[in-house]
Amino acid sequence: MKITDLKVIRANRCVFARIETDEGIYGIGEAGAWGFLEASGTAIETFKSYLIGKNPLDIEHHWQYMQRFSHFRGAVVMAAVSAIDIALYDIAGKYFGVPVYRLLGGKCRDKVRVYNHTAGQTEEQLVENAVKGKEAGFTALGHLNPYLDEPRDMPFHDNSTELLYKAERRVAKVREAVGESTDLCLELHRRLDPGLAVQLSHRLEKYNPMFLEDPIRPDNYDEMAYVAAHSNIPIATGERITSFYDFAMLIEKHACSYIRASIGVCGGFTGAMKIAHLAEAHHMSLVPHNPLSPVTTNAVLQFAAATENIMICEYPDPYKASTADNLMGNNVSLRQVDMVTEIPEFRDGYLMVPDKPGLGIDLINDVEEKFPFRPHAVSARLNLDGSVCDQ
């Protein structure tokens, strides 16, 4: 079997790689460099000259070759490598007539626990949506931002004292509304400095969050390790990291309890499995990052089914246009579920693992026409003084 073509599909807020073979089998994979998808699409096309004529089943070799032929990588290139790797596994699963999890070592679980995205531009909305999430069957509520999901054109003005008191009040209200049986996965969006993050973690302990995600900017592993060492709430981080070598440093520094690897930028299945094994050796679990389409959701499910040390997975609502539109309040009459042939069944807080060959999902034939590509705008929130605010 040989690769005959590599196409880039741009639809909605997504970029996909479609790899075709001389046996009529094709595979799809999604790039995850969220704000730079146009560049990732170009990177995918760059790899076409290498892949044409190659055996698609030599996945590890292709992964090594694409990473190491150049002196430079980064999120854009690794998103392209990830999309191609996922597509190659999709081909392999179809070729052998098995779901991808069989190629990764077989099942560790039949279903995967997931958390939703609980957004709110006001405290009232946040609590209301938390209750709705529990009523919908979720046993964990995620992307819960105690600093709210306010519009990016609204200046952020809370001082240090307000950052502590408001976050505690909002988490307390959510906990009271959903009770003790629901896990709260708090997303702090890199809002705090290390000292303030430690202060906040102590104030939130009594509400028993499952984890605090990215309380500070995640670029300095030593500072994240400082926060993790002084917090009794587990820290989750890693969605920006693209290399398993960097994950090794993060893990060795004990900078978190939960690894937020993103299969769309960390190297696809090949990269994610390497990271999972590193984490397992240090008694750490993964909480895979996923702000993408149902294609990536299926890829995450295949990975989670075959990986023992998965704690829980992020589940973007397929009945929304995209994570960006959902969390930023954009009223767009698109649904990601309509981009694909099917989505996995959700039941009592879990997604059932698809058993069809490959990823178990496909894009509709005319997805580019029905879902015109919508790039992410360059838009950062500002503080009241005009400086940049992480959100």
Active site residues: 189, 289
Q: Are 360 and 354 in contact (CB under 8 A)?
A: yes
The gap between the terminal CA atoms of the chain, to the nearest Å, is: 46
Rounded-to-integer distance, Cα 38 and Cα 307, Å: 31
Task: Give helix 74-96 / helix 59-68 axis angle, nearest 10°.
Answer: 170
What is the three-class DSSP state of 98? Answer: coil
Strand ranges (E), 300-369: 313-314, 346-347, 350-352
Which residue, chain included where needed, has tokens 């779901």? 99
- In whole angstroms, what is the distance from residue 206 CA to residue 153 CA? 34
- Dihedral angle over CA of 269, 275, 277, 280, nearest 10: -130
Strand partners, 117: 142
Three-state DSSP class for residue 9: strand
Number of other CB atoms surrounding residue 366 within 10 Å:
9
**For the chain, how many residues are written?**
391
Beta bridge partners of 142: 117
Chain centroid offset of residue 382 CA:
25
Question: CA 145 to CA 148: how far, in whole Å?
Answer: 5
